[in-house]
Amino acid sequence: MDIRASLANIPDPRIERCKKHLLVDILLLCITAMVCGVQSVEDIAFFGITHIQWLKQYLALPNGIPSADTILRVLGRIDYAKFETCFLDWTRGYFRQRLEPGSVIAIDGKTVRGSTTETDKGIHLVSAWANKLGLVLSQVKTHEKSNEITAIPELLSALDVSGCVVTIDAMGCQKQIASDITQGEGDYVLALKENHPKVYKEVTAVFDEKDLGKPEYIDITKDHGRIEKREAWLYQDISWFEDREAWPGLKAFGCIRSTRTVKEETKVECRYFLTSLTDAEQFACSVRSHWEIENKVHWVLDVVFREDYARNRTDHSAANLSVLRKIVLNLLRLEPTEKLGKQKLSLGRKRLYAAYNPDFLLNILCNL
């Protein structure tokens, strides 16, 4: 779906006599400026002033560039749930057209620390990440006095997980969440920790009694002086497990043993999972893929987009700016150029090059 058409469906929160600037223009100005590396609302307005002639080729701008106060006021008042739906509508079509069987959808949460005040916690957002496509599919803001356990089902209800493997950390290891994924015709890999003490004790005892033995799958990587070996086991005889019917789709207990060697220091860690998968290689690859949401989404938002330093706290501005950042992150990843001459185009360099080269900027924006 063309995101511009979807943006036009977002209810404008302003009263009629105060609409000097079109809502779509304001949002597209924000996206364009952020693609070029702009971080703050004040700099978005400055970007608009310095690029107004170029922007007028593509935006209406009947009254010129909106002020920073206007942009922030509009972003604060837009219904963030409607904006999240707009984002989802855009990614859903793209994802489904390019879906491969067994694609991993990683779900994880992140707090926008800059939105914290003396009286309120920072907003917490739960995002879904499509591993192979490298796209953020959607986000949901957790409600006040709530957590990821209530937000994840809301996110799953909006996503189409059919044929996919959904991976979630220990917070999302819940019976209802397993049911939601199974009803959506997806598979799951749920990290198991002590928040389910009885199940955790029974599962860890299984692998202790089994004494692990020969791994069903082994993966070894070497990177930046670190050697890591990941060994995987699936224990599929769960007929004895009393709670098996309470976990819809459950077919196996999983164990990953990671052995990391850095500068001659070796650490061994075992992690445990509940899963509907029966193939050890697919299970192991799904577990490893999950951590890309940390490296390619949360880390990028913090380091490249400086999200944790953003001090926007007015009404819904923090949540809506987070949606804008994820739209821009997707646009940058959809742009296929990896190198310019001998220079590798990281996300940061793509943003810099877009600021210098209008043609490259248009190549990025054409995916809107």
pLDDT of residue 40: 92
Residue 298 dihedral angles phi and psi, to the nearest 5°: -65, -45
pLDDT of residue 118: 66
> Is residue 46 over pLDDT 80?
yes
For residues 66 and 49, what is the distance between their CA atoms, to the nearest angstrom?
A: 9
Q: Are 265 and 226 in contact (CB under 8 A)?
A: no
- CATH number for the domain whose boundaries are 82-301: 3.90.350
For residues 362 and 35, what is the distance between their CA atoms, to the nearest angstrom?
A: 10
> Is residue 50 over pLDDT 70?
yes
pLDDT of residue 212: 77
pLDDT of residue 130: 94
Q: Which of 9-23, 78-92, 220-234, 247-261 has the highest mean pLDDT?
A: 247-261
Beta strand segments in the chain, E: 104-111, 124-130, 135-141, 165-168, 187-192, 217-223, 226-235, 252-262, 265-275, 339-340, 343-344
3-state secondary structure at position 200: helix
pLDDT of residue 204: 93
Q: Where are the domains of the chain?
A: 3-78+335-365, 82-301
Q: Describe the crossing of helices 347-356 and 317-334 by its angle, rounded to 10 degrees.
A: 90
> Is residue 184 over pLDDT 90?
yes
pLDDT of residue 303: 92
- The secondary structure of residue 45, as a DSSP letter, is H
Say which residue, 283 or 114, is predicted with more confidence.
283
The 8 Å CB, 24+ separation contacts for 78-82 are 78/10, 78/13, 78/23, 78/316, 78/320, 79/10, 79/11, 79/13, 79/316, 80/141, 80/316, 80/319, 80/320, 80/323, 81/141, 82/9, 82/10, 82/11
3-state secondary structure at position 139: strand
Average pLDDT of the chain? 90
Per cent of the chain over pLDDT 90 is 67
> Is residue 210 over pLDDT 80?
no
Q: Describe the crossing of helices 148-158 and 175-183 by its angle, rounded to 10 degrees.
A: 0
CA torsion sign for 107, 285, 344, 336 is negative
Q: Are 241 and 225 in contact (CB under 8 A)?
A: no
For 108-127, what is the mean pLDDT?
81
Q: Residue 42 corresponds to which tokens in the numbers above? A: 């004040």
**Maximum CA extent, the chain:** 73
Q: Describe the crossing of helices 68-77 and 317-334 by its angle, rounded to 10 degrees.
A: 100
Range in 38-52, 114-128, 182-196, 234-248 with the lowest mean pLDDT: 114-128
pLDDT 10s digits, 300-357: 999 999 988 877 767 888 899 999 999 999 999 999 998 888 888 999 999 999 999 9
Range in 17-31, 82-96, 195-209, 234-248 with the lowest mean pLDDT: 82-96
Q: How far apart are the first and last CA of the chain?
A: 9
Confidence of residue 119 (pLDDT cuts 50, 70, 90): low
Determine how many CB atoms are found less than 10 A away from the CB of residue 336: 6
Residue indicated by tokens 């779906």: 1
CA 180 to chain centre: 19
pLDDT of residue 34: 97
pLDDT of residue 1: 52
Confidence of residue 242 (pLDDT cuts 50, 70, 90): very high
> Is residue 115 over pLDDT 80?
no
pTM of the model: 0.91
Confidence of residue 97 (pLDDT cuts 50, 70, 90): confident
> Is residue 209 over pLDDT 80?
no
